[in-house]
């Protein structure tokens, strides 16, 4: 059996001395909250041991030495700076952090940048309420939404993941709070660019700029520190509705400086001025009466715009589109994009206006109609439309003739043309007038036959007797139909010697009466009749009996004379009515 070794007094003395020396050793001055250098002495699966010249090594989680892809970034023997979180002298333990050391060093760097009014690079990592979170290489900073750019950003999510330079506005190390701004940096850069631009900018100069904003009246161009306005009227020689037809946000354009107010820092720009004005000598290029082809570019209520060449448009007024059609809107004739033939009607070079016509390409159908259907022509046509005032007959394509209700019959009283005709009827009519200027074509049906009133004076002379039926009774007399369509009037004063309040006291409609013609006029279409005068004539024809008897008979010579005077007076009254 092996014999155990026993401790000797000499060995005890050596161990005690070494322990005392270790406890008295100088491990350096390690203050809590400071950054100290260290050396990696061990790397295991969870921790990294770092020697910082203390009684024991500090243990740091391995995650603080692992990159974004999970790779360990240190090895045994590597020198690293660590942060002393706390230490315990009595137990000889210490707590270290590499992340805190990096953050403190980064805060030192950021404070130095802020003090020197410098910039730092950062990457926008995510959107948060009111702005963004920015990674400054280990420290997360807040970027307010109002400090992202010089103007509102349309798509804020599009900035996530992008790197930019930032100005540091505020640092609170205790709260680990950093606020940064990109706008302040851009404003400084813009101010420098503006000062440089103002020194060199001049009217007539050709400059390059980027489309910054688009409005209805024009485009704002960023010239690099200074904004210029490109008005819609200076974008193209041709007429455009909106600047978006030519440019988009972010487009880079070459422009000409039209006007520059250095004191007010206002710049007017032109795009069309970079190419020749197509309106120069426009009257010589497009003389009046010449025919051209063009493309319809735009429609308005009053007409269509036709492009004759790039930058040159003319207007076809709605009244110059068709000889015969009454158009409510140009879209009834053309559409945008159509190629049309036009004739130049007029050119105003000063106002840059060209008047065009489409209907003039073909002959005026009214000239054809006037020549083909002179007044007095008898034609045949189909009824296309009936209104309360007349009937429309199709004459030629796009041209209708009107038969007024008063020109349908000489004698019949027609309240509405539909009493006589219907749409689709084919009828004959005589041409009454052809008015090319006012585009009116009038016809008559009654004119196909002779006016029956023209025969009335010869058929019914004054003094002749007629018979007819009472067709209408009014307060002022009787209407008597002499023949179909021909009526005469018996005035209330010509009905009876007796005073009557109304003709209806004596006659009723339908009564057949005999009357004497006392007035006739074909032009006035009047036939005056009298019933009373027939009775007067009969009285005058009766024999007169004169008696020589005395007063007892009741008649004297004076009575006979008075009777004779009354008869003569009545006869004179009747003659007056005839006149």
CATH of 365-448, one of 1.20.1560.10, 2.170.190.11, 2.40.50.140, 2.60.40.2300: 2.40.50.140
Per-residue pLDDT tens over the stretch 263-307: 777 888 999 888 888 888 888 889 999 999 999 998 999 999 999
Residue 528: pLDDT above 80? yes
Per-residue pLDDT tens over the stretch 107-119: 888 888 888 888 8
Taking Cα atoms as reference points, which of 69, 70, 170, 177 lies closest to residue 133? 177
pLDDT of amino acid 575: 45
Per-residue pLDDT tens over the stretch 37-96: 888 888 888 888 888 877 777 888 887 787 777 788 788 888 888 878 776 666 667 878
Q: How confident is the model at residue 202 (pLDDT cuts 50, 70, 90)?
A: confident
CATH of 201-274, one of 1.10.3300.10, 3.30.9.10, 3.40.190.10, 2.40.50.140: 2.40.50.140
Q: How confident is the model at residue 567 (pLDDT cuts 50, 70, 90)?
A: low
Average pLDDT over every residue of 246-265: 87
pLDDT of amino acid 317: 95
pLDDT of amino acid 123: 92
Average pLDDT over every residue of 498-527: 88
Residue 378: pLDDT above 60? yes
Q: Are 233 and 260 in contact (CB under 8 A)?
A: no
Q: Please, what's the b/e burial string for 164-178 (b: 16 or more CB within 10 A of its CB; e: otherwise)?
A: bebbbbebeeeeeeb
Residue 552: pLDDT above 80? no
pLDDT of amino acid 358: 93
Give the integer Cα–Cα distance in Å for 57 and 52.
7
Strand partners, 292: 342
Task: Assess if CATH 3.20.20.70 describes domain 117-186.
Answer: no
Residue 578: pLDDT above 80? no
Look at 44-53, 333-342, 381-390, 527-536 and tell me which has the smallest mean pLDDT.
44-53
Average pLDDT over every residue of 388-411: 87
For 257, list phi and psi in degrees, rounded to 5. Answer: -75, 115
- Helix or strand holding residue 256 (H, E): strand 252-261
- Helices 532-541, 557-578: axis angle to 10 degrees equals 140
What pTM was computed for the model?
0.43
pLDDT of amino acid 269: 92
Q: How confident is the model at residue 548 (pLDDT cuts 50, 70, 90)?
A: very low
Domain boundaries, the chain: 117-186, 201-274, 282-361, 365-448, 465-515+534-579
Q: How many CA atoms lie within 13 A of 435 on its CB side?
A: 11
Give the integer Cα–Cα distance in Å for 340 and 523.
55
pLDDT of amino acid 550: 45
pLDDT of amino acid 579: 34
pLDDT of amino acid 25: 43
Task: Assess if CATH 2.20.25.10 describes domain 282-361.
Answer: no
Which CATH number is 465-515+534-579 given? 2.40.50.140
Q: Which long-range contacts (CB under 8 A, 24 or more apart) does 498-507 make?
A: 502/473, 502/475, 503/473, 503/474, 503/475, 503/477, 503/478, 504/473, 507/470, 507/473, 507/478
Taking CA 377 as the corner, what is the angle to CA 371 and CA 380, rounded to the nearest 5 degrees? 105
For 552, list phi and psi in degrees, rounded to 5. Answer: -65, -20
Domains 117-186 and 201-274 share a fold: yes
Look at 29-43, 249-263, 355-369, 503-517 and tell me which has the smallest mean pLDDT.
29-43
Q: How confident is the model at residue 24 (pLDDT cuts 50, 70, 90)?
A: very low
For residue 106, what are the contacts with CB-CB under 8 A and spacing of at least 6?
136, 137, 138, 139
Q: How confident is the model at residue 545 (pLDDT cuts 50, 70, 90)?
A: low
Residue 341: pLDDT above 80? yes
Q: Are strands 312-317 and 353-357 parallel, antiparallel or unpaired?
A: parallel
């Amino acid at each position: 059996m092996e014999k155990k070794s026993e401790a000797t007094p000499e060995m005890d003395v050596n161990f005690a001395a070494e322990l005392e020396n270790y406890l008295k050793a100088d491990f350096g001055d390690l203050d809590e909250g400071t950054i100290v250098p260290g050396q990696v002495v061990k790397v295991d699966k969870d921790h990294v041991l770092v020697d910082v010249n203390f009684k024991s090594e500090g243990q740091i989680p391995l995650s603080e030495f692992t990159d974004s892809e999970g790779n360990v970034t240190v090895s045994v023997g590597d020198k690293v700076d660590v942060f002393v979180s706390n230490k315990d002298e009595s137990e000889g333990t210490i707590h270290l952090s590499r992340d805190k050391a990096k953050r403190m060093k980064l805060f030192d760097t950021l404070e130095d940048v802020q003090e020197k009014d410098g910039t730092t690079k950062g990457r926008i990592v995510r959107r948060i309420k009111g702005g963004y979170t920015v990674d400054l290489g280990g420290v997360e900073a807040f970027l307010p939404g109002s400090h992202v750019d010089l103007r509102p950003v349309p798509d804020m999510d599009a900035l996530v993941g992008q790197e930019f330079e930032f100005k540091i506005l505020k640092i609170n190390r205790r709260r680990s709070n950093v606020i940064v701004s990109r706008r302040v940096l851009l404003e400084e850069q813009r101010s420098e660019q503006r000062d440089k631009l103002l020194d060199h900018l001049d009217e007539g100069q050709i400059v390059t700029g980027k489309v910054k904003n688009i409005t209805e009246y024009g485009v704002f161009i960023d010239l690099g520190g200074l904004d210029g306005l490109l008005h819609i009227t200076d974008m193209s020689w041709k007429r455009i509705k909106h600047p978006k037809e030519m440019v988009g946000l972010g487009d880079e354009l070459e422009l000409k400086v039209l006007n520059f107010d250095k004191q007010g820092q206002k710049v007017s720009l032109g795009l069309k001025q970079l190419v020749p004005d197509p309106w120069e000598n426009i009257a010589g290029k497009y003389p009046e009466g010449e025919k051209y082809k063009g493309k319809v570019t735009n429609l308005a209520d009053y007409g269509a715009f036709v492009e004759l060449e790039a930058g040159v448009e003319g207007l076809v007024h709605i009244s110059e589109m068709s000889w015969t059609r009454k158009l409510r809107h140009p879209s009834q004739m053309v559409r945008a994009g159509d190629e049309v033939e036009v004739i130049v009607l007029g050119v105003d070079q000063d106002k840059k206006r060209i008047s065009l016509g489409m209907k003039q390409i073909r002959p005026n159908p009214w000239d054809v109609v006037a020549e083909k259907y002179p007044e007095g022509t008898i034609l045949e046509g189909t009824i296309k439309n009936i209104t309360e005032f007349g009937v429309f007959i199709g004459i030629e394509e796009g041209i209708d003739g009107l038969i007024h209700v008063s020109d349908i019959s000489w004698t019949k009283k027609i309240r509405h043309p539909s009493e006589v005709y219907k749409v689709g009827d084919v009828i004959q009519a005589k041409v009454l007038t052809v008015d090319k200027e006012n585009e009116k074509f009038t016809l008559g049906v009654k004119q196909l036959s002779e006016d029956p009133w023209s025969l009335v004076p010869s058929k019914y002379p004054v003094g002749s007797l007629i018979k007819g039926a009472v067709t209408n009774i009014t307060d002022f007399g009787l209407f008597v139909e002499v023949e179909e369509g021909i009526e005469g009037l018996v005035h209330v004063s010509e009905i009876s010697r007796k005073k009557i309040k109304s003709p209806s006291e004596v006659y009723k409609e339908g009564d057949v009466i005999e009357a004497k013609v006392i007035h006739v006029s074909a032009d006035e279409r009047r036939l005056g009749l009298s019933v009373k005068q027939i009775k007067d004539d009969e009285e005058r024809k009766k024999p007169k009996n004169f008696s020589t008897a005395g007063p007892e008979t009741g008649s004297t010579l004076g009575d006979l004379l008075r009777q004779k005077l009354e008869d003569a007076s009545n006869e004179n009254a009747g003659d007056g009515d005839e006149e």
